[in-house]
Amino acid sequence: MKEKSRLVYRVQNPVIGRFISRDSRVSATVEIEGQPVKAHLTNTGRLLDILQPGVKLLCVPISAPKTKVRIIGSQAGNLFSVIDTLTQEKVTKILFTKGEVPGWEGWRLIKTNPVIGRTIYDFLVWDSEGKERIVELKSAVYYFPDDHSARYPDTVTTRAHRQFNIMLESPERFAVLFITAHPEARLFKPSDDDPQVVELLKELRNKGVPMNAIKLFMKQTGEIYLSEKPVPVMI
């Protein structure tokens, strides 16, 4: 049965490029119209399975001192993965504003970037029962074709260790939303690349922290689609 999805966002003025090299955690070189161009990369994962030499990328022009474009997506079959975390956040903000997050229908945005101590999270929302919850997004674009799973993380992440340990102190205040942004993903799993994240997520689930996963994918023309049903979370 074909997966049902709907258009939720359009990237403006997308530009096609080809990946050449990754220069740092936040920058890369891409080829656009035959010329090397410095690109901003917001996703700080390793992305080794995604950013292969020659892979087709979807970029948008930006005005920055050192970079001319920002990488939004990478080709996966006939579609594109949404690897840009800023775009993932923007789409999710739209969904929470409308109360239309699959699996969390009725959860509505209060504000962005709430701070607990010195740690910044993504959203403060009302859940469907009218309770305030702090929601942290995690980008899952690490794809495993054997079981069609999107996974997080693809490297050790001390930031997640800190965030999840804070959540364990007050589990009733938090929720975690995984963005499975690969077009062929059918489920979410935590990645063994960071065993501590796996254990922390198990502890959070055991303490009743809500966990959900939604699926985004993109066309070459810049339209981003949302699968209408949540993605199963296997922890």
Class of domain 85-227: alpha beta
| Whole-number Å distance between alpha carbons of 39 and 90 | 20
The token duo for 121 is: 């999270």
Of residues 151, 146, 136, the one with CA closest to residue 233: 151
Nearest alpha carbon to residue 167 among 121, 123, 212, 130 = 121
Architecture in CATH for domain 8-78: Beta Barrel (2.40)
Query: Average pLDDT for consecutive 10-residue bins of the chain (235 residues)?
Result: 87 97 97 98 95 97 94 97 98 98 98 92 97 98 97 96 96 98 97 98 98 98 97 97
φ and ψ of 225, to 5 deg: -110, 150
- CA–CA dist 165, 209 (Å, integer): 12
Which sign, positive or negative, has the C-alpha torsion 93, 96, 98, 102? positive
Q: Residue 105 is encoded by which pair of tokens?
A: 């229908």
Please give the pLDDT value at position 44: 93
The boundaries of every CATH 2.40.50.580 domain in the chain are 8-78
> Could you tell me the two tokens for 77?
């079959």
Q: Are the CB atoms for 185 and 215 separated by under 8 Å? A: yes
Which pLDDT score is estimated for 160? 96
CATH 3.40.1350.60 domain locations along the chain: 85-227
Predicted confidence at residue 117, as pLDDT, reads 84
Q: Can you give the pLDDT at residue 1?
A: 46
pTM tops 0.85, yes or no: yes
